[in-house]
Chains A and B, each alone.
Chain A
């Protein structure tokens, strides 16, 4: 933050609309706990926090200057300098990282002529921001330009994102799914996936095109927006439900240009048949991508028994019940499918707790604390005011389960939260959702309003609080601090929040997925839940299956399933030609489980035993091109950036660990670095105040345990996976036919334009951006680790 030394009286106030600030304060209130919302309002309006506005807030509210400054500089959402016209956020989540997000950022910076220290381009058009994870991991690498997410970005084409942001189309009004009832009434209907991944894949545009096409035909086709189907690797998805047919037809990777053809094929009136003719070429392209399996229409009562394909086969849908069937904001449909019966079948609080206890449900946020026990403590705690909080601050890079559940099943999460409120006699219920999930915030807000109108909330005060960009706020004491309007720094537990939490009141904080499972358990009974899963880990777990996997997506599997089953049966293994190396489970708190331990069952204890954790459910598959030292460095750089900076071990200890790892990836390791790193990892684990610091060393410890030889290779200046840029070089093999694509694509002119000749790379110019690899149609560009000298020798030999 760049504070100028000035005084209120003398500061030359830039033209800031202070009237807006007053309007904002009238809306948010002026109490200290409104501080984050006030800052978010300022940020939204001014796109940064003008100092004059901050001074004005100090003068007009009960928020002190010290705490306002502390907040404004703590959360990454807040800017302190004006931003460019367009905000381009480059996701550096785990999946994006392993799929080359650094190279994407390089490409954008190069295109915008920005060096690494600048955040806004010289023309003031674009501001680039690095973000932890936007939760669209299956579409990695992802870049979000203003509000539009772009998936599967490649280095050579990354600049298209920028021109897209400048196009008039980018300012098209947002599609409101509440306007789409999708009520088919027995007629044919189109289902379109409208989770964030689908939208990032382009489903909003596809929907618009479908609507336009049906309008052109003059027919009114019911178009139903549905939540996440889990098949994120296939987005955008369009499904056709035809009356009289028990099978549904699924189109995958649909492009908006194909919308008319789809409408025409299934819904066209005889007079419009002629269209088909003209779109013949489109047809064939599309049919290639029509899924081999046609899916029978599921029975509403038992949708999870269907056995459709390998991807869906081993899955069990409890939290994601009716996946791909429901309109996220259709309360009637939710009720029709059994929603709110669990809440209304009024079990007494003690019975609810007993039921949850005997179901064996454990917290899905990571640590696996028994949910029933937590509720019991919270119920026993005395207080006139009690809180239940839904922890939707899913910050793990590479995880997006909570986002998907909040977006697709907002009523179900709310029902779970209301059941929890009843169980512990809570007066207030709060959704804490990270600001990086705008769609989830929007849908939950609407769901609350709809339920309030329907009288479903009872006497419970339900509200939403948004995080402002701080991973540590997923830790419950930090989350509480954040809601109270303080910096999100954790404190020592005990006392636990169930005894003394938000404003010192008993507070029961549960993860989104935990709460989502609650209505199912109450409706179907604890024993039904307990029959699913493993001995000490009951029920199912939702995972975000991402990384180097063929079929990535959102999956819900029974506990006890093996890693092998998930990776190979559900995910279809890694890309052909590559070998499965490890899975990273549990994000920055978790570890890497090597392929040799793929038979490890997924339950809390087994994962802990191999050095990983269940975590919130990020499961990133790594192949032989992924460097484990780089992965460890990646996670440490994440935790280091997200450390609140309060306690010594985390603030400085993780920094020192990161420095060692960075040295290693740059080939500058020192002989005793591995020992220092390992010892420091144990010290940081033992001495840190909160879970973030205590678990931050896990990615390092687990990779040191299973891949020590890779660390040792880095000490010798060698990166076996060919990932660490300082230790690799690119080379063109003699299978090159001189097609010049690489030479044209190379952004730094390191490949001379020599048609029909073997291309060569000038190592002194090469920035290792990987563009040549991506542009070569014959896979002639290889990455090698070791001294470059050898290449010249080879070339001249």
Chain B
């Protein structure tokens, strides 16, 4: 039995085993997009390249058999680079966004496609669940959002953007109207205590997500009511007080304590209506500064370093120079949009949570962005959506249920049907790729909609060959065929058959094996 060294770890494998087999024995993760267990190697994606001692070129781990005495390195800078280039090349021909542009543009990155799909299916409660994954106060924000998401809507270039913001408000209002507004389940208590200073949109948002993560959260505010700028700076005509009250009232139900009328003081001997940072530092595991804008000179009296008009923080972690003290929101960078404050509070909460759990911060999730699309491709995307024009909205009037459903059906669902499930995205995140590195002609954006359950998007295919092999082994009469060659290679149902005729037996296996969203189930509600 041949023995080899992978990353200086000895391994003994059966005859005929590949480097990939050997690495798996050692639990070394070598990425591959085309290899399938129990199938002959396809060696098409070339993401599994490794360095073999003494060889000039890198070798694909999936097809290279282990030879006795082989020394292999699975993750040198050269290997990492080569894998990154392979992924970047695959992405350079990829015709698909990881998530819809509206979601990108939304500062809170709310999954708008999903929300709209659920509204269209009259699943309003589940729509609220989706919204509240990123925006805890949709009824509030639905009234004051600047509609950034609608500027990203691809349908804007056809016949007007979907009224996303209105529909978010619809979801929030409908949720409140049930009298059992949606509250996500809390994680098990962590025993950690967190103080948030400032009950404005940043602080409230952070409190929501930290409480959900199982932490004990106290929010301090100098005023006698919560809401911060949402209450003080916005006309009640635009944002009725009852809406704000109803949504913020959910926080105590998650266990968040509001400690009002407490002002942050810089003096060490504060009176009872005041709190000090050192005092909080001694009582809490983390403190989040989430106040509104404060003059930098004052901030410095708290011992905080400043940058520009706000507190200086480490951008990725929201940490200030003081131990266990974080800062987010307008006290860092003054800004105009409440939704950005909510997003900032969410991001700070994630960082604090990760730090309290001593979890490693994950690299930022990769997201493919196609940019502007030619009109012909937009038409392809819009094929399955309602062809109705945008519902005219009147500022003070809510959407009716019928209007909401109709408007939500206009969404062309330009996001990816796989979302987080995509292997290509997974490795692209892991190898921190830049999808714009090798910009050039990409595959055309196509949707083959003829199958009742399957959506085939050839533009997202990476020609790995998995589906072709699986269908062939399943003994499909027509099956799928790898047609043409070179850059024009395209998987198609054989000899012009329909997808239904091609995949009579193997559809579930084929879809499970597809490493991207090229072949995927139609999104079910």
Contacts of B47 in A (CB 8 A): 648
Contacts of B85 in A (CB 8 A): 649, 653, 680, 683, 687
Which of B476, B479, B483 contacts A1, CB < 8 Å? B483
Within 8 A of B (CB), among A647-695: 647-649, 651-653, 655-656, 659, 676, 680, 683, 685-689, 694
Q: Confirm or deny: A287 has a beta carbon within 8 angstroms of a beta carbon on chain B.
A: no
Cβ-defined contact, B44 with A647, below 8 A: yes
Contacts of A687 in B (CB 8 A): 46, 49, 57-58, 82, 85-86
Stretch among A60-68, A297-305, A323-331, A582-590 lining the B interface: A60-68
Closest beta carbon of chain A to B431's beta carbon, Å: 13
Within 8 A of A (CB), among B32-71: 41-47, 49, 56-60, 63-65
Q: Confirm or deny: A51 has a beta carbon within 8 angstroms of a beta carbon on chain B.
A: yes
Contacts of A381 in B (CB 8 A): none
Cβ-defined contact, B92 with A689, below 8 A: no
A491-B43, A686-B58, A694-B57 given; A51·B479 CB < 8 A: no
Within 8 A of A (CB), among B396-450: 438, 440-441, 450
Cβ-defined contact, B440 with A656, below 8 A: yes
Which of B90, B465, B485 contacts A652, CB < 8 Å? B90
Q: Confirm or deny: A7 has a beta carbon within 8 angstroms of a beta carbon on chain B.
A: yes
Cβ-defined contact, A7 with B497, below 8 A: yes
Closest beta carbon of chain B to A690's beta carbon, Å: 10
Beta-carbon contacts of A403-418 to B below 8 Å, as 1s and 0s?
0000000000000000
Beta-carbon contacts of A113-134 to B below 8 Å, as 1s and 0s?
0000000000000000000000
Cβ-defined contact, A653 with B89, below 8 A: yes
Closest beta carbon of chain B to A457's beta carbon, Å: 35
Cβ-defined contact, A65 with B486, below 8 A: no
Cβ-defined contact, B82 with A683, below 8 A: yes
Q: Confirm or deny: B482 has a beta carbon within 8 angstroms of a beta carbon on chain A.
A: yes
Which of B477, B483, B492, B495 contacts A54, CB < 8 Å? B495
Considering the chains assembled together, what is the distance between the CA atoms of A70 and B477 in angstroms? 15
Q: Confirm or deny: A55 has a beta carbon within 8 angstroms of a beta carbon on chain B.
A: yes
Beta-carbon contacts of B467-491 to A below 8 Å, as 1s and 0s?
0100110001111111111111100
Contacts of A653 in B (CB 8 A): 85, 89
Beta-carbon contacts of A187-229 to B below 8 Å, as 1s and 0s?
0000000000000000000000000000000000000000000
Contacts of A645 in B (CB 8 A): 463, 484-489
Query: Which residue of chain A is the closest to B63 with respect to CB atoms?
Result: A492
Q: Confirm or deny: A630 has a beta carbon within 8 angstroms of a beta carbon on chain B.
A: no
Which of B64, B481, B495 contacts A55, CB < 8 Å? B495
Query: Which residue of chain A is the closest to B91 with respect to CB atoms?
Result: A652
Cβ-defined contact, B82 with A686, below 8 A: yes
Cβ-defined contact, B58 with A69, below 8 A: no
Q: Confirm or deny: B14 has a beta carbon within 8 angstroms of a beta carbon on chain A.
A: no
Beta-carbon contacts of B120-159 to A below 8 Å, as 1s and 0s?
0000000000000000000000000000000000000000
Cβ-defined contact, A646 with B481, below 8 A: no
A3-B495, A7-B497, A65-B481 given; A686·B487 CB < 8 A: no
Beta-carbon contacts of A474-501 to B below 8 Å, as 1s and 0s?
0000000000000100011010000000
Cβ-defined contact, B463 with A66, below 8 A: no
Q: Confirm or deny: B496 has a beta carbon within 8 angstroms of a beta carbon on chain A.
A: yes
Interface size class of A (residues with CB under 8 A): 35 or more
Closest beta carbon of chain A to B329's beta carbon, Å: 39
Q: Confirm or deny: A641 has a beta carbon within 8 angstroms of a beta carbon on chain B.
A: yes
Q: Confirm or deny: B266 has a beta carbon within 8 angstroms of a beta carbon on chain A.
A: no
Considering the chains assembled together, what is the distance between the CA atoms of A662 and B450 in angstroms? 38
Closest beta carbon of chain B to A525's beta carbon, Å: 37
Contacts of B468 in A (CB 8 A): 66
A652-B92, A683-B82 given; A66·B486 CB < 8 A: no
Beta-carbon contacts of A45-77 to B below 8 Å, as 1s and 0s?
000000100110010000011111110011000
Cβ-defined contact, B498 with A648, below 8 A: no
Considering the chains assembled together, what is the distance between the CA atoms of A646 and B463 in angstroms? 7
A66-B468, A68-B494, A649-B89 given; A640·B44 CB < 8 A: no
Considering the chains assembled together, what is the distance between the CA atoms of A245 and B58 in angstroms? 65
Cβ-defined contact, B482 with A655, below 8 A: no
Q: Confirm or deny: A765 has a beta carbon within 8 angstroms of a beta carbon on chain B.
A: no
Considering the chains assembled together, what is the distance between the CA atoms of A580 and B89 in angstroms? 38
Closest beta carbon of chain A to B140's beta carbon, Å: 47
A66-B471, A680-B438, A686-B58 given; A646·B44 CB < 8 A: yes
Contacts of B482 in A (CB 8 A): 70, 487
Beta-carbon contacts of A726-757 to B below 8 Å, as 1s and 0s?
00000000000000000000000000000000
Cβ-defined contact, B60 with A651, below 8 A: no
Considering the chains assembled together, what is the distance between the CA atoms of A162 and B472 in angstroms? 46
Cβ-defined contact, B58 with A643, below 8 A: no
Which of B42, B438, B485, B487 contacts A74, CB < 8 Å? B485
Considering the chains assembled together, what is the distance between the CA atoms of A651 and B465 in angstroms? 14
A4-B496, A69-B495, A687-B82 given; A647·B92 CB < 8 A: no
Most buried by A among B65, B463, B482: B482
Which of B86, B478, B481 contacts A649, CB < 8 Å? B86
Contacts of B43 in A (CB 8 A): 491-492, 646-647, 689
A69-B495, A652-B93 given; A647·B46 CB < 8 A: yes
Contacts of A644 in B (CB 8 A): 485-486
Closest beta carbon of chain B to A434's beta carbon, Å: 16
Query: Which residue of chain A is the closest to B477 with respect to CB atoms?
Result: A65
Q: Confirm or deny: B105 has a beta carbon within 8 angstroms of a beta carbon on chain A.
A: no
Q: Confirm or deny: A6 has a beta carbon within 8 angstroms of a beta carbon on chain B.
A: yes
Q: Confirm or deny: B501 has a beta carbon within 8 angstroms of a beta carbon on chain A.
A: yes
Considering the chains assembled together, what is the distance between the CA atoms of A685 and B49 in angstroms? 13
Contacts of A470 in B (CB 8 A): 485
Cβ-defined contact, A659 with B492, below 8 A: no
Q: Confirm or deny: A764 has a beta carbon within 8 angstroms of a beta carbon on chain B.
A: no
Cβ-defined contact, A651 with B487, below 8 A: yes
Closest beta carbon of chain A to B435's beta carbon, Å: 13
Contacts of B472 in A (CB 8 A): 64, 66-67
Beta-carbon contacts of A585-617 to B below 8 Å, as 1s and 0s?
000000000000000000000000000000000
Within 8 A of A (CB), among B490-525: 492, 494-498, 501
Contacts of A676 in B (CB 8 A): 438
A5-B450, A655-B441, A687-B82 given; A640·B487 CB < 8 A: yes
Closest beta carbon of chain A to B365's beta carbon, Å: 22
Most buried by A among B471, B476, B486, B489: B486
Q: Confirm or deny: A642 has a beta carbon within 8 angstroms of a beta carbon on chain B.
A: yes
Considering the chains assembled together, what is the distance between the CA atoms of A494 and B70 in angstroms? 14
Which of B63, B89, B481 contacts A648, CB < 8 Å? B89
Cβ-defined contact, B489 with A651, below 8 A: yes
Query: Which residue of chain B is the closest to A57 with respect to CB atoms?
Result: B495
Which of A7, A492, A651, A659 contacts B440, CB < 8 Å? A659
Which of B46, B93, B495 contacts A68, CB < 8 Å? B495
Cβ-defined contact, B41 with A492, below 8 A: yes
Considering the chains assembled together, what is the distance between the CA atoms of A69 and B489 in angstroms? 12
Contacts of B465 in A (CB 8 A): 646
Contacts of B463 in A (CB 8 A): 645-646, 651
Considering the chains assembled together, what is the distance between the CA atoms of A5 and B43 in angstroms? 31
Contacts of A694 in B (CB 8 A): 57
Contacts of B49 in A (CB 8 A): 687
Considering the chains assembled together, what is the distance between the CA atoms of A6 and B494 in angstroms? 11
Supplied contacts A644-B485, A649-B46, 10 more A-B pairs, CB within 8 Å: A1-B484, A3-B492, A7-B501, A64-B472, A645-B487, A651-B487, A651-B489, A656-B440, A685-B57, A687-B86
- A–B pairs, 14, beta carbons within 8 Å: A1-B483, A3-B495, A6-B496, A64-B494, A65-B478, A74-B483, A492-B43, A642-B486, A643-B486, A647-B44, A647-B45, A648-B90, A686-B57, A687-B85
The 7 closest A-B pairs by CB, nearest first: A3-B496, A645-B489, A65-B494, A69-B481, A652-B89, A66-B479, A73-B483
Chain A positions within 8 Å of B, measured between CB atoms, are: 1, 3-7, 51, 54-55, 58, 64-70, 73-74, 470, 487, 491-492, 494, 640-649, 651-653, 655-656, 659, 676, 680, 683, 685-689, 694
